[in-house]
Chain A
Amino acid sequence: MQLETSVQSLKMGTEESELGGSIKAGSGRMLDRKNRLLFYNRSFKIACIASASFVCLVLFSILFFMFRTGVLTFRDVPMATFFFSTDWSPENESYGAFVFIFGTFALTLLTLLISVPLSIIIAVFMAEVAPKWMRNLLRPVLDLLVGIPSVVYGFLGLTILIPLLRNITGTNMGDGILAAAIVLTIMVLPTISRISDDAISVVPRKYRDASYALGATRFQTIFKVTIPAARSGIMYGVILGMARAIGETMAVVMVIGNTPQLADALFKPTSVLTSNIVMQISNVPFDSTWNNALYMMGFLLLVISLLMIVLVRLLQQKGAHR
């Protein structure tokens, strides 16, 4: 032990001089203790910085590697073909990813169309209407729903929702963008409604009082005052839900039909970026254009979700300024 400390103090020689006279004036024991503390502080600082930069390094290397492999696609496929052609048949050297890009956006939009109004109504109910005991019951239930693994939703969609859709609508298969959107709606509903609920709950009471004082009804107060005041919080929830919907794979792949054709009808088997990647990545030859094209699709997904996160940050800042 004695030996180790003296070695440390030797290493720390430069710091010792920076600290000035007070340490030099102290006794030998004091000197050891100061140096030891200095050493611990320094190494802790270095450990923190190293951890932080490691996280950044991981993020950037993921981006870099996805891009590096993905961009090789454009050696063999013109960029316009990749982004705008609807013909995806890798066995015939056609790599048009428009079907999947369109599918991803169409699916997300449809999901939001169903889930946002529903979530806001649920949030309003929980924050404004429900009695306290029901609120205390509903909130944990919604929190639990967030944690259900997506493959469970997908499995239920495949075995319950799709036969149901087939019976109701009389279509032959039931697979398609509507089935996927319904499954995704159930998945993102708890996320959006819980965050909106929190946002509505923190709207100051004086806003409502003022509204009532002007003679507004409860309905008018909720929709003209409370919700607009909680807007940025609700948007935050919507974007989080949207990010989850865009990146969701397992639930979608089980109900969407996985056929590379444009989603121009609600009940037509189609495919999105995530489902196509997971369907094909284990079966492609390494170093083929096909493999690179799948990486490019993964990179696109990454970029889309990063943009979402940036948007969330901006909204948060805006919310804080209010």
Chain B
Amino acid sequence: MKLFKTLSVAAMAIALVATSITGSTASAASSLKGKIVVNGSSALLPLTLQAANEFKKLNPKVKISASAAGSITGPQSVRKGIADIGAVDWDASQDVPGFKKFDGQVAHKVAVIPFAAVVNKNVTADNLTTKQLQDIFSGKVKNWKDVGGEDADIIVVNRAFGSGTRVNFQMKALQGTDFISKGDNYKEVKSSGDMKTAVETTPNAIGYMDLVYVTSKMKAVKINNIAPTEANVINGTYKVWGYGYYMTKGEPDGAVKAFIEYIQSSKFQNGSLKKLKFIPISAIK
């Protein structure tokens, strides 16, 4: 018993000293303190984590915890007060297909995310017009020969309803037209990774994903004769891209404001953000 008491006293003393030491070094570096919780889109998570690491080095007293589920959880968590920042692939302060706007939330653009329509390697068609894309994804055109390919059934691979990529692709590439939801040659997948596997391994498949996920084992088609490249997004010819947003409840202040400003700073946008293959928001005119 006595030994235990001495031990616990010693442990307490060590803990006290330790906290006072770390506390003093922290206050020396920055006066900003607080806790930031980020939740939402998994597409934006790598960006958030990278920014959080760098931001924490500059502001050791700020704690940032980031997690991701689906885009819609971002603004929802903000509304419920669970998170300070909700990462989402569309502007959640406005109505988008399938989702109502979140009143009282402010959207902050943090990155530009390009999307590409991708097909299996065996598909010969390499250019699709907006009309052809609409017809394929709404199920009106069922055979590749009708859109400049060989005589084979088109396999449509779609993301599940609620995916941020799906919302963006529907708005930007299909200009708001509806997807098919049934059929023998139609399936839905859960994530960008599953989409990649499905398009790579299924002959005659067509799908869509973030441009950064496109691999050499599949083909990104031209849309209206414009190739999906970063350069074409920046010069304004390739239209299928969206902003990644951080949603906050009202205008942010304190640590949250500083964090969003850090992510939007040209140092981060042109440095780490580019390395993660997003496009800086300032690049878009």
A residues near B, CB below 8 A?
1, 89-91, 158-159, 162-163, 166, 172-175, 253-254, 257-261, 265, 267-269, 278-280, 282-286
Contact = CB atoms under 8 A, between A and B. Distances in A.
A172 B181 contact: no
15 contacts: A158-B194, A173-B185, A173-B187, A254-B194, A259-B187, A259-B188, A261-B182, A267-B184, A269-B186, A279-B188, A279-B190, A280-B160, A283-B70, A283-B160, A286-B76
A42 to B, nearest CB: 22
B1 A158 contact: no
B197 A158 contact: yes
B162 interface: yes
A279 B182 contact: no
Nearest 4 A-B pairs (CB), nearest first?
A: A283-B162, A282-B70, A257-B187, A283-B70
Pick from A1, A163, A259 the residue with the most CB of B within 10 Å: A259
B201 interface: yes
B244 to A, nearest CB: 17
A172 B76 contact: no
B66 to A, nearest CB: 16
Contact of B202 (A1, A173, A253): A173
Contacts of B211: none
Contact of B182 (A175, A253, A259, A280): A259
A293 B267 CA distance: 46
Contacts of B70: 282-283
Contacts of B197: 158-159
A260 B182 contact: yes
Contacts, number: 80
B213 interface: no
Interface string B135-166: 00000000000000000010100001111000
Interface of B: 1, 69-73, 76, 80, 98-99, 153, 155, 160-163, 181-190, 194, 197-198, 201-204
A15 B232 CA distance: 85
Contacts of B201: 158-159, 162-163
Contacts of B194: 158, 254
A58 B1 CA distance: 36
Contacts of A268: 184
Nearest to B100: A285
A172 B162 contact: no
A258 B70 CA distance: 17
A286 B80 contact: yes
Given A268-B184, A282-B69, A283-B70, 17 more contacts: A91-B161, A158-B198, A159-B201, A162-B201, A175-B187, A258-B187, A258-B188, A259-B186, A259-B187, A260-B181, A261-B183, A265-B184, A269-B186, A279-B190, A283-B71, A283-B162, A285-B76
Contacts of B186: 259, 269
B199 to A, nearest CB: 12
Nearest to B152: A172
Nearest to B198: A158
A257 B185 CA distance: 10
A282 B73 contact: yes
Contacts of B163: 283
Contacts of B71: 283
Contacts of B202: 166, 173-174
B189 A172 contact: no
Given A172-B155, A173-B202, A280 B162 contact: yes
A258 B190 contact: yes
